Structure 1
Amino acid sequence: MLIKLAYLFSGQGGKIQPIDPQIYQDNIDFRHVFQRAFIESGTDYWQMWQDGDQRLSETKIAQPAIFALSTAFYQAINKQLPKAAALVGLSLGEYSALTAGQSIDWDIAFKLISNRGELMQDASEKFPGSMAAVMSSDIDLIEKSCRKASESTGLKAVPANYNFPKQTVIGGDRRAVSKAVEILKDAGVSRIVPLAVSGAFHTPLMEWANQTFVKKLSQVPFQQSTVPVISNTSGRTFELDNMQELLSRQMIQATRFTDCLSRLNEMGVTDVIELGPGHSLVSFAKKTLKLHGYYAVNDLDSLNKAVYELSASREDS
């Protein structure tokens, strides 16, 4: 069969666990990315991943660490497989996707993400918030409940992540989110899961951080991507003339990963590979799209499995 491959780049929030050091020892391209990260920052992010260091749950550390890991996996795998048909990242993973598509130089993107993580952690401390995953396909009900909660508390609760048709994450001020959860439960929504996050990302509570970050974005020399990169904010492909504008909105507006998945379906994608510490994006894809293959690459064994199975599929076609 003809393979149309999309890479999915993990966002923040995955489970922190040790990574087998074999890939670092065996793959020079993977190793080189972490060496660059060390030169840029003086921080040994690879040692943190190898140890499963719990500091990786801190936003200011997690963001550059996940960026380094995801782009390292991309460098280790992409030359062994057909050219990607599309690249998608969730939240900070969008910067990994744009870097893989050569829209942003790696060094510039690493500095951007490091700054983004620091700003978002500071904003979370200045403006405490919470988030909760709502397991319901009734998007209209979720949005109305957030509006009602905001009106009754005078605070903000909004949809923050449209992950797939049956999961939407809401976020904002803790009291407003709590009220929205109460309204949803009264309306019959039975599964609502509080998230262990440090702040209300992709909500107006990040406005303080975004104002500073936008100034950084205005200085970035973007290039047109060599591979289509799909925006979380619009659900459509980034173009050179909209990259800065879309990224300037991303921190304070909802991510629309479900729209990104719909776009992959329109493009005829057959297989997806998630690169990073988790497998949430592959899980969302499995629950939304009927594809040939779903792969989560987070160590040498999973990388080799993806390469072997996709290479075999190509030979059989």
Structure 2
Amino acid sequence: MKKAFIFPGQASQFVGMGKDLYEHFESARRIFDQANEILNFDLKKVCFEGPEEELKQTYITQPAIFVHSMAVNTLLEEKGLKPDGVAGHSLGEYSALVAAGSLTFEDGLRLVQKRGQLMHESGNKNPGTMAALIGLSAEQVYELCEKLSDKGIIQPANFNSPGQIAISGQVEVIRQALDVAREMGAKKALELVVSGAFHSPLMDDARAGLQEALEKTEFKDARVPVYSNVTGGPVTARDEIRHLLFKQLTSPVLWQKSMENMIADGFAAFYEIGPGKVLCGLLKRINRQVPCQPIGTVENVNRVGEEG
């Protein structure tokens, strides 16, 4: 049975994340301690104790989720559980690439830190926001964005699951879009608490800095297929991986397509590696038949051991 590891992105963080892993497992301690040295600030303290306001800052959230995911991934490797393919939601794609052997933990963390800083700065410079739309089709969301495109920047950002799509753009335009979405029959339309218009042209200011960081980083061909956010399809070649990571910054995340492709390619057991269980929830909406197990706590990790 082919096993898929899927890695969460921003919004899965919570105060206390990783604390139990740190206290129980030597290798988790090593990962968090090493992260503190690389980042040059006390990530452990913010993850374990908060405050939540600080943890929610993009430049802290991204390394926090990445490090938590990598601690869990290391523990699973030690138990002999390895993926046959991987995917990660936005930021989670960097975690997926480490799990697939394309990036080292250290290089992955440096890239994630840089990406978080660049996106934070870009969000401050070009204020924007995002909104979740529930109950509209992809076609309707494209139509909605087209309707409002003369008002300013607006585009689909995340195709998460059937009827659950996020849009991204300038604050006033996104707020107008909430009303239009409701008129079009959306069951829910709500603005998200984010610090910028991720996966939209409002992140353009971050592009040059990210490209430079990606060019300086050594990538290897992935050992297992990585299902890309940008295409929804599998990739293993290092140059293509680097190119797609760059495009990912301002392109929509095709998460539903990625999951559907993995299932079509024979992946039959999914494990969400890191904090929370957002991706397992999305997978349930995409295909109820496919089991997904969240692994982010000591209890989850131990249960995997028991299953052998």
Quote the residue 1:278 is aligned against.
276
Root mean square deviation of aligned Cα: 1.6
Quote the residue 2:213 is aligned against.
216
The 1:79/1:20 distance shift into structure 2, 3 A limit, reads closer
Q: Deviations over 1:192-218 (max 9, x none)?
A: 122111111001100111122112112
Quote the residue 2:161 is aligned against.
164
Quote the residue 2:57 is aligned against.
58
1:261 alignment partner AA: M
The 1:114/1:15 distance shift into structure 2, 3 A limit, reads closer
Alpha-carbon contact 1:10-1:93 (below 8 Å) kept: yes
% identical aligned pairs: 29
Compute the displacement of 1:237 (Å): 1.3
Alpha-carbon contact 1:269-1:291 (below 8 Å) kept: no
Quote the residue 2:87 is aligned against.
88
Alpha-carbon contact 2:156-2:168 (below 8 Å) kept: yes
2:119 matched to 1:120? yes
After TM superposition, the structure 1 = structure 2 runs for residues 267-306 of structure 1, keeping only pairs within 5 Å, are: 267-291=265-289, 293-306=291-304
Quote the residue 1:44 is aligned against.
42
Quote the residue 1:141 is aligned against.
140
Q: Deviations over 1:93-138 (max 9, x none)?
A: 1001001111012211111111111110011111111111111241
After TM superposition, the structure 1 = structure 2 runs for residues 1-317 of structure 1, keeping only pairs within 5 Å, are: 3-19=1-17, 21-54=19-52, 55-151=54-150, 153=151, 155-240=152-237, 241-291=239-289, 293-309=291-307, 311=308
Alpha-carbon contact 2:13-2:65 (below 8 Å) kept: no
Compute the displacement of 1:79 (Å): 3.1
Q: TM-score normalized by structure 1?
A: 0.92
Compute the displacement of 1:182 (Å): 2.1
CA distance in structure 2 between the partners assigned to 1:24 and 1:259 by the alignment: 35
Compute the displacement of 1:186 (Å): 1.7
Gaps of 5+ in 2: none
CA distance in structure 1 between the partners assigned to 2:95 and 2:187 by the alignment: 35
Alpha-carbon contact 2:12-2:65 (below 8 Å) kept: no
CA distance in structure 2 between the partners assigned to 1:18 and 1:82 by the alignment: 25
Compute the displacement of 1:247 (Å): 0.9
Q: TM-score normalized by structure 2?
A: 0.94
The 1:92/1:200 distance shift into structure 2, 3 A limit, reads same
Q: Deviations over 1:30-56 (max 9, x none)?
A: 121112112212323223222243111
Gaps of 5+ in 1: 312-317
Aligned residues: 306
CA distance in structure 1 between the partners assigned to 2:182 and 2:223 by the alignment: 46
The 1:41/1:124 distance shift into structure 2, 3 A limit, reads same
2:301 alignment partner AA: L
